[in-house]
Amino acid sequence: MATLALDATDVAKRFGPVTALDGVSLAVAHGECVALVGESGSGKSTLLRAFNALTRPDRGLVRVDGHDVAAADPVALRRAIGYVPQDGGLLPHWTVARNVALVPVLMGRTDSKALASAALDSVGLAPGQFGGRWPHQLSGGQRQRVAFARALAAGPRIVLLDEPFGALDAITRGDIEDLFLTVRRRTGLAALLVTHDLHEAFLVADRVAVMHAGRIAQVDTPAVLLTSPATPYVAELLRRARVVTGATT
Partner 1 sequence: MSRGRAVAWGGAVVVAVLIATAWTSARQAAPGDAGRPVVVGSKPFGESYLLAELFAQILEARGLPVRRTFGLGGTEIIFPALRQGAIDVFPEYTGSGLLVILKAPPVSDPAAVFDIVSREFARQYDVRWLAPLGFENTYAMSIRTEMAERLGLRTLSDFAAVSGEMRAGFTADFIGLPDGLPGLRAAYGLAPKTVSALAPAVKYQALVDGRVDIIDAYSTDGFLERYPLTVLVDDRRFFPPYDAAAVVRGALARERPAAVAALSELSGRLGVTRMRALNARVEVNGEPVALVARDALIDLGLVAGSTGAATPASARQETSLARYLWDRRMAIAAMSARHLWLAGVSLAGAILVGVSGGVALSRTRWAEPVTRGVGVLQTVPGIALLAFMLPVLGIGTAPAVAALFLYSLYPIVRNTVTGVRGADRGVIDAAEALGMTPWQVLAWVRVPLAIPVIMAGIRTAAVVNVGTATLAAFVGGGGLGDPIVAGLALADSRMVLSGAIPAAALAVLVDVSLAGVQRALTPAALRERLESGAAW
Measure the CA–CA gap between 156 and 172, rounded to whole angstroms: 25
Identity of the residue, 133 or 199, whose beta carbon is nearer to partner 1 in the bound complex: 133
The answer to whether 163 and 194 are in contact (CB under 8 A) is: yes
Shortest distance, position 48 Cβ to partner 1, whole Å: 10
Identity of the residue, 26 or 159, whose beta carbon is nearer to partner 1 in the bound complex: 159
CA dihedral 85, 247, 217, 88 (to 10 degrees): 0
Identity of the residue, 103 or 216, whose beta carbon is nearer to partner 1 in the bound complex: 103
Shortest distance, position 138 Cβ to partner 1, whole Å: 11
Measure the CA–CA gap between 176 and 7, rounded to whole angstroms: 27
Give the CA angle between residues 25, 27, 28 to the nearest 5°. Answer: 150
Cα distances (angstroms) measured from residue 111 to each of 34, 105, 118, 119: 32, 9, 11, 12
Shortest distance, position 79 Cβ to partner 1, whole Å: 3
Longest dimension (CA), the chain: 54
Identity of the residue, 4 or 147, whose beta carbon is nearer to partner 1 in the bound complex: 147
Distance of CA 153 to the CA centre of its chain: 16
Closest CA to 149 of 168, 164, 171, 163: 164
**Residues 6 or more apart from 87 whose CB is under 8 A from it?**
143, 166, 167
Identity of the residue, 118 or 230, whose beta carbon is nearer to partner 1 in the bound complex: 118
Shortest distance, position 225 Cβ to partner 1, whole Å: 29
Identity of the residue, 42 or 52, whose beta carbon is nearer to partner 1 in the bound complex: 52
Shortest distance, position 121 Cβ to partner 1, whole Å: 20
Shortest distance, position 54 Cβ to partner 1, whole Å: 6
Measure the CA–CA gap between 6 and 214, rounded to whole angstroms: 18
Give the CA angle between residues 233, 181, 35 to the nearest 5°. Answer: 20
Shortest distance, position 240 Cβ to partner 1, whole Å: 29
Binding site for partner 1 (CB under 8 A): 52, 54, 75-80, 83, 85-95, 102-103, 106-107, 134-136, 147, 150-151, 160
Identity of the residue, 47 or 103, whose beta carbon is nearer to partner 1 in the bound complex: 103
